[in-house]
Amino acid sequence: MTKSANPRRPSLRSSHTPIGAIQAMEKQPVELTISEVAERSGVPIATIKFYIREGLLPRPRTAGRTVGRYDAAFMVRLEVIRELRNRWRLSLREIAELLTEAGPLATLNEIELKLAARDRLDEAIDPTNAEPPISELRLQERAGLPVADLHDLTRYGLLTPIKVDGATVFAERDARIAEVVGALRSSGYNDHLGFAIGDLQRYVEALRVLVVREVEQFDSPALRGLGRDEMLRLIGQGVAQVDVLLGLLHKKLLLAAVHDRLDAAASRRHPEGKPVRAPRLRKTAT
């Protein structure tokens, strides 16, 4: 497997986790206190307790009123979470979904293989998925937009911020969306003329209906029967062609709507009959 260009998705070969050593503990009936778990794993006690409260880790076996005992399976689970956080840069929500989907006995290697397969699908749909995320400041510089506009774009679903080590970053696809909005602003599409950031939400709402139908088609029995490489190829090519199709249809429908509106306005100005249109000048041969 080649190394991915996305820092959020490291190569499986780069894994240097000591999880194998921890799994060896399963052969021994060893239980640890939370202090010992923190010392061996390098994860602070407060973080461990937080993971337990959030349901990422199982509650310990109680030994007395205030003492909890943690077994080897708990250590394995904690190490999986730590690796997914530190190397894969996943959010706690993403980790919770992965752990629920994989089951309580899933190993780090199994989860990493699932992530790698998911990455291939993500990159088939959007090749920019492999590019590193950028900071909010860099996004602002590239788009030429004020922070208020970026926050509005996030509020209306056009941008999706990602938390990595406490910092807010954005995927390359979001950076390109912001650049387009910045170009619109520079072209004169501003609030004063009636073009607000909130107006762009209509595109999100309309496209969401379309993509739900697309995903249903991707999940058809015929596609599921294909090999994974063939399915990824079809999805990648299909998405690229549909992107072109959407652009062309937008122009076609926009032209039709504009002319319908002009005709309606002309009809209101000439209620007794059709307006007289100026004849088109034809070029004559010389």
pLDDT band at 226 (very low <50, low <70, confident <90, very high): confident
Q: Domain ends where: 77, 103, 127?
A: 127
* Domain count within the chain: 3
Let me know whether 19 and 120 are in one domain. Answer: yes
Q: Are residues 173 and 77 in the same domain?
A: no
Share of the chain above pLDDT 90, in %: 47
Residue 105 buriedness (CB in 10 A; 0-12 / 13-18 / 19+)? exposed
Look at residue 16 and tell me whether its pLDDT is greater than 50: no
The backbone region for 55, taken as left when phi is positive above 0, alpha when psi lies in -120 to 50, beta otherwise, is left
* pLDDT of 163 above 60: yes
Helix axes 136-143, 147-155, angle to 10 degrees: 100
Band (pLDDT 50/70/90 cuts) for residue 286 is very low
* Domain contains 260: yes
Residue 23, CA distances (Å) to 13, 31, 75, 162 in order: 19, 13, 8, 32
* Highest averaged pLDDT of the listed ranges 11-25, 93-107, 245-259: 245-259
- Which runs of E-coded beta strand occur in the chain? 61-62, 68-69, 134-135, 162-164, 167-170
- 3: in domain: no
What is the number of other CB atoms lying within 10 angstroms of the CB of residue 171? 21
Give the residue among 81, 84, 61, 75 at the shortest CA–CA distance from 10. 84
| Greater pLDDT, 19 or 183 | 183
Q: Where are the alpha helices (DSSP H) in 187-220?
A: 201-218
pLDDT of residue 148: 93
Q: pLDDT band for 285, please (50, 70, 90 cuts).
A: low
> Nearest to residue 161, comparing CAs of 197, 133, 142?
133
DSSP string across 8-23: TS--GGG---THHHHH
Question: What is residue 89's predicted lDDT score, i.e. its pLDDT?
Answer: 78
Q: Is 119 exposed, middle or buried (0-12, 13-18, 19+ CB in 10 A)?
A: middle
- Evaluate whether residue 87 is within a structural domain: yes
CATH of the domain at 76: 1.10.1660.10
Check whether residue 96 and residue 166 sit in a common domain.
no
> What pLDDT does 117 receive?
83
- Domain extent, residue 163, equals 133-199
Q: What is the mean pLDDT of residues 131-149?
A: 94
Query: Is pTM, for the whole model, over 0.85?
Result: no
pLDDT at 155 (0 to 100): 95
- Beta-carbon contacts of 56 under 8 Å, excluding residues fewer than 6 positions away, are 77, 81, 92, 95, 96, 99
Same-domain status, 21 and 48: yes
Most confident by average pLDDT, 9-13, 112-116, 221-225: 112-116
Please provide the average confidence, as pLDDT, over all residues in the chain.
Answer: 83
Check whether 202 has a pLDDT greater than 70.
yes
User: What pairing do the DSSP bridges indicate for beta strands 167-170 and 162-164?
Assistant: antiparallel
Q: Give the Cα-Cα-Cα angle 235, 240, 245 (nearest 5 degrees).
A: 120
Residue 175 corresponds to which amino acid? A
Q: Considering the domain boundaries, does residue 148 fall inside one?
A: yes
